[in-house]
Structure 1
Amino acid sequence: MTLPEWLAGSSEEAGFLRLVLDHVSDCLVAVDTEGTIVLINDPYCRLLGGEAEEFLGRHITDVVGPQTRLHFVARGIGTHIGYPLEVRGHKLVTKQVPVHKDGRIIGAVGLALFSDYDALKKTYGRISKAELAIPSKPKAWQSKFGLDDVIGTGPLMEAHRDALKLAAAYDLPVLICGETGTGKELAAQAIHSLSDRSTGPFVWVNCASIPSELIEAELFGYEGGAFTGARSQGKPGKFELATGGVLFLDEIGDMPLALQGSLLRVLQTGEIVRVGGTNPVGIDLRIICATNKPLVELVQTGRFREDLYHRLNVLPIEVPALRERGDLAHLAEHLLARIATRLSVPAPVLTAEDHDRLVAHTWPGNVRELENALTRMIVTGHISTASLDYRHRSPSVDAKSDLKSRMKSEAHAALRAALMQAGGNKQRAAEVLGISRAQLYRLLKEQSPA
């Protein structure tokens, strides 16, 4: 094992240090400020299945994987203690800290605090929850997805994942743009799960779904008795709930203009005032926004504040549309397997004709539309051209009756699939279909026998 100059002393000291590091039972690796491996001990080499010479001089992400944060730590971006890391199928709990010399950072060291994750869980199980102060209830407002859930192949999706990793490394506002159904919230959750705030809450608000007269109280909270119908004890808003984590503002383009100034002030001061309140409340959070609207055009027409736009558009991310990605077949196979597992049925095999139909479609609803189409395929046994081409078909008068019948059949199949997917929960089924619960009940009533 070769030691870099900044870790080596006299030859005798260097030899003793090499001996000590190789006898440390837990994995240890060090990188320079470029993320290049300059030291790695024998336990880590054994875990990786190679010799030190195979790994020295290579970038840490090439050896350990993109989930490591060590190369960021080596550039002075954060410190990670208790950071979970999976390497070659082994789950580690790591400590990643910078190395300082003469007041400057010259690299970073990663040490596996626990190289045996299963042993760690058993150890935790033997210690009382009171001693560890483990909360008995799971945390609310947690992100459910990470970078591994951003499925896709090809240069466009690789660039997208790289953009998410870069955004996660800096505690700055992010503006995610993309068409409906591309996976903007998935991107936001991936950023949160990779960031230093990953243990904090991930709180989301859909700015388009809350009435304009209620959105201020929803975001900022309110004091008791602030308005008619308010709780007597008051209620914290989403900003307070997201303290220590991320507030995801979906459909930011639909935020009322009058409220945009209040959001701008929060970004500038890090303080909020509840509705009906008099004292400012300090908050510490990160803002991630998403929109499918052209914010630049909204700025030009006076429907979105230009100063707020520049505050939010620090790290812009564009989620690629499905028709641009070039990985439709790969994604469809993955989604089919996932949907079939969720519905507890065998995954069907796409035929050449199925592939042709999928590729020929423009997918205005993107991944969400593709998932719905594949769900219908599992339920009905075929991919319906009528359902895929609903935006582009112009039926003649003679064909309208047949089209109506097919659409009714497709609607019935979609409803059954959504209810199966939601386990019979009508609210979740409505969310799967992208309709209101009232619309769902109306469709169910129409299909029930008289």
Structure 2
Amino acid sequence: MLSIVELNRCLKDNALLIGIVRDLLQGVSWAAKSSGYIFYLTDKYANLLYIAGDTRVSREYEELINFGVGVNWGEAAVGTTAVSLALDENSPIFWISEEKYCVVLKDKACASVPIQAKDGSVVGILGTATDTDGLLKSACPVFDFLLMAAAAVQNYYQRFEVENVYYRIEKSLSLVLGEIPEGVLITDQGGMIVEVNKSFGALLGLDISEAIGKPVDSVFPQVSLPLSRDLTNGVQLFKSSYGENKHLNTEGLVSRKLGFKDASGLKEYSIHILQKKPEKMKNVSGSRPFQAKIFIDDIIGESREIKQTKSQALIMAKAPYEVLIEGKTGTGKEMFAQAIHNSSDRAEAPFVSINCGAIPDELMESELFGYEGGAFTGARSHGNPGKLELAEGGTLFLDEIGEMPSNLQVKLLRVVQEKQYMRLGGLRPVSTNVRIICATNRDMESMVEAGAFREDLFWRLNVLALHVPSLYERKTDIPILIDYFLKQHSAEQGLPYTLSDEARNLMMTYSWPGNVRELQNALKCAVVYAEDGLILPCHLPQHIVNDRNIHHEEDSNMPLQNAEKQVINQALSSCGGNLSQAARMLGISRVTLYKKIKQYCLVR
């Protein structure tokens, strides 16, 4: 039997389980008091915690075998019983055998059902006992009740167990967040604030006392924090490096971001960590001239294609190998290169880019590898570092790698294979620690087959291949990109820009051979001419408007519209631009004529 101290500790440790059983059995106490049965609860060590039921049977058991709270009912104490068997086998036991170690129990019958925690471990036993005569009269109904009661107890216990864990975690989290100097903001996938600490509000000078449960945009209007996307359960997908975060419109502050899903895998959350810029980061542009500014969330799009590409890029960022990014002109290959760098463990190191097609062949070697003093006529006396040296410890991005001269391909192969290179005019090799990311808009395999690019170098650079989809492959992103760029222009110009339906239709059906870059430039052109903020077809570049084969090959109304436009234009010319006369000539109202002029972008 347990001592008083041990019993009090045992009752305290199992208070939740005891409370659930007590409440359940009190609900049927009117029937249990004269049933001939007693009901009991033990802990996982077979110590009796609670007894209820027929008081006559309870007293009888107490007198015969000292059956009471604090008594151990395990096999070592009283021999084999339903309790010991249920604990050993972790399954319900109906025990009526006369083969019992304890003599006084030979004419008694009992049943026990284990109660399991969320992880499947046994936390207690709910059982019933009676004499064999009582068993014969009502065994099945009582045993059925015991099974249902144990199931109910287990269900309630597991639910409270989970809620208690979450409560403790939430309480601990709040206590920890309240003591750290960094600002922490947790948002769900809808942008609602789940948790925020006082430091976050203090850094921004805002009141956060009623922030939880509200949209982040309404509580922190000057902070634009993108939501997490493409998350995997429990895995950190991205982490911005220290630096000027373009999503944070507050000077002197930097932020980092983590994305995760909850245990169910259904809910997505973002954790934004905000702090003052460390002293060593003052004048970042001066101390870090080669810095990647693009993060994975800066790449706009919600299509399946772009999401998959972003997800692959984040996976590649964690590996130390070379990456070859393939995609058409204007798809954003360098953006992905910068995002990979900023998501890697080299994020604090330089990101240096060089366009292999923009530098003359005779200058390419010194640009890439650097040169020693006096290496050639006109060279600096102290020499000059190359892009490889400037990228030390970080990432070297070789754009348009297919344009690299063949004589330099051999030297680049040595860099990839041996991590060494020679400066122009140098006498000894220089070791290097850089990650090389290349990009091309050409068919590299065809170039290899044609002998225009070294096969051994191609396979060295093509360890991880990333295809950036064209805008034609991700058409569902076109309206998202349009709205994104228009929002940018609106903020820059202080004028809200919108697209007319006709202009939007033109942009949605155009093939965009220049991809995102062409779309962005088209909108730049449009906002220049749209002085009132409404972008009409006539404000778009002419080649988009005139692209009839793509836009209108299935539009049966276009011949009629073209004819209408021509007739209106002729009427205006005949009337010298007088709207009233032209309207009478056409047989339409002046208002209708004005609408048509605006629709077809006609000049009066």
The aligned counterpart of 1:219 is 368
Q: 1:195 aligns to what SS in structure 2?
A: coil
CA pair 20-216 structure 1, distance change in 2 beyond 3 A = same
Q: 2:498 aligns to what SS in structure 1?
A: coil
What pairs with 1:10-21 in structure 2 (closer than 5 Å)?
none
Give, in angstroms, the shift of residue 230 of structure 1.
Answer: 0.8
Q: Is structure 2 residue 307 aligned with structure 1 residue 307?
A: no
Give, in angstroms, the shift of residue 18 of structure 1.
Answer: 11
CA pair 315-72 structure 1, distance change in 2 beyond 3 A = farther
Kept in 2: contact 1:363–1:369 (CA 8 A): yes
CA pair 71-205 structure 1, distance change in 2 beyond 3 A = farther
Higher relative contact order (Cα pairs below 8 Å, separated by 6+ residues): 1
Q: Within 2, Cα distance between the matches of 1:260 and 1:283?
A: 17
CA pair 22-202 structure 1, distance change in 2 beyond 3 A = same
The aligned counterpart of 1:364 is 513
Give, in angstroms, the shift of residue 279 of structure 1.
Answer: 1.4
Q: Within 1, Cα distance between the matches of 2:172 and 2:462?
A: 49
Look up the equivalent residue of 2:339 and give its one-letter code.
A
* TM-score after normalising by structure 2: 0.47
Look up the equivalent residue of 1:260 and give its one-letter code.
Q
The aligned counterpart of 1:164 is 313
Equivalent of residue 483 in structure 2, options 329, 333, 348: 333
Give, in angstroms, the shift of residue 392 of structure 1.
Answer: 7.8
Kept in 2: contact 1:226–1:276 (CA 8 A): yes
What pairs with 1:113-152 in structure 2 (closer than 5 Å)?
117=275, 120-121=276-277, 124=278, 137-152=286-301
Kept in 1: contact 2:353–2:396 (CA 8 A): yes
Q: 2:473 aligns to what SS in structure 1?
A: helix
The aligned counterpart of 1:200 is 349
Q: 1:321 aligns to what SS in structure 2?
A: coil
Kept in 1: contact 2:525–2:541 (CA 8 A): no
What pairs with 1:50-129 in structure 2 (closer than 5 Å)?
65=228, 117=275, 120-121=276-277, 124=278
1:352-379 per-residue CA deviation (whole Å, 9 max, x = no partner) reads 1112111221111111111111111111
Q: Is structure 2 residue 571 aligned with structure 1 residue 384?
A: no
Q: Within 2, Cα distance between the matches of 1:20 and 1:197?
A: 33
Kept in 2: contact 1:146–1:194 (CA 8 A): yes
Q: Within 1, Cα distance between the matches of 2:245 and 2:525?
A: 37
CA pair 384-133 structure 1, distance change in 2 beyond 3 A = closer
Give, in angstroms, the shift of residue 235 of structure 1.
Answer: 0.3
Q: 1:287 aligns to what SS in structure 2?
A: strand
* TM-score after normalising by structure 1: 0.62
The aligned counterpart of 1:100 is none
The aligned counterpart of 2:378 is 229
CA pair 322-67 structure 1, distance change in 2 beyond 3 A = closer
Give, in angstroms, the shift of residue 383 of structure 1.
Answer: 3.6
Q: 1:327 aligns to what SS in structure 2?
A: helix
Kept in 2: contact 1:86–1:92 (CA 8 A): no
Give, in angstroms, the shift of residue 138 of structure 1.
Answer: 3.6
The aligned counterpart of 2:500 is 351
Look up the equivalent residue of 2:451 and give its one-letter code.
G
Q: 2:517 aligns to what SS in structure 1?
A: helix
Equivalent of residue 240 in structure 1, options 389, 396, 412: 389
Q: Which has the larger radius of gyration?
A: 2
Give, in angstroms, the shift of residue 148 of structure 1.
Answer: 1.6
Q: 1:248 aligns to what SS in structure 2?
A: strand
Q: Within 1, Cα distance between the matches of 2:429 and 2:423?
A: 8
Look up the equivalent residue of 2:433 and give its one-letter code.
D
Q: Is structure 2 residue 334 aligned with structure 1 residue 185?
A: yes
Q: Within 1, Cα distance between the matches of 2:291 and 2:236?
A: 24
Give, in angstroms, the shift of residue 347 of structure 1.
Answer: 3.3
Give, in angstroms, the shift of residue 172 of structure 1.
Answer: 1.2
Look up the equivalent residue of 1:199 and give its one-letter code.
E
Kept in 2: contact 1:347–1:378 (CA 8 A): no
Q: Within 2, Cα distance between the matches of 1:348 and 1:22?
A: 43
The aligned counterpart of 1:439 is none
Kept in 1: contact 2:294–2:342 (CA 8 A): yes
Look up the equivalent residue of 2:469 and give its one-letter code.
P
Look up the equivalent residue of 2:369 and give its one-letter code.
F
Kept in 1: contact 2:352–2:395 (CA 8 A): yes
Look up the equivalent residue of 2:490 and give its one-letter code.
A
| Structure 2: stretches of 5+ with no match in the other structure | 1-117, 120-167, 183-194, 201-207, 214-226, 259-270, 531-537, 550-604
Kept in 2: contact 1:357–1:385 (CA 8 A): no
Q: Within 1, Cα distance between the matches of 2:498 and 2:290?
A: 37
Q: Within 1, Cα distance between the matches of 2:511 and 2:169?
A: 61
Give, in angstroms, the shift of residue 236 of structure 1.
Answer: 0.5
Kept in 2: contact 1:68–1:85 (CA 8 A): no
Q: Within 2, Cα distance between the matches of 1:70 and 1:201?
A: 31
The aligned counterpart of 1:32 is none
- Give me the CA root mean square deviation: 4.3
Give, in angstroms, the shift of residue 133 of structure 1.
Answer: 8.9
Kept in 2: contact 1:83–1:95 (CA 8 A): no
Q: 1:199 aligns to what SS in structure 2?
A: coil
Look up the equivalent residue of 1:158 and give its one-letter code.
K
Q: Within 1, Cα distance between the matches of 2:431 and 2:479?
A: 48
Give me the identity figure in percent: 39
Q: Is structure 2 residue 434 aligned with structure 1 residue 285?
A: yes
Give, in angstroms, the shift of residue 385 of structure 1.
Answer: 6.1
Q: Is structure 2 residue 423 aligned with structure 1 residue 267?
A: no
CA pair 23-388 structure 1, distance change in 2 beyond 3 A = closer
Q: Within 1, Cα distance between the matches of 2:467 and 2:294?
A: 18
CA pair 390-202 structure 1, distance change in 2 beyond 3 A = farther
Kept in 1: contact 2:522–2:541 (CA 8 A): no
Kept in 2: contact 1:83–1:94 (CA 8 A): no
Q: Within 2, Cα distance between the matches of 1:156 and 1:95?
A: 24
| Structure 1: stretches of 5+ with no match in the other structure | 6-15, 28-40, 51-63, 97-111, 394-450
CA pair 349-18 structure 1, distance change in 2 beyond 3 A = closer
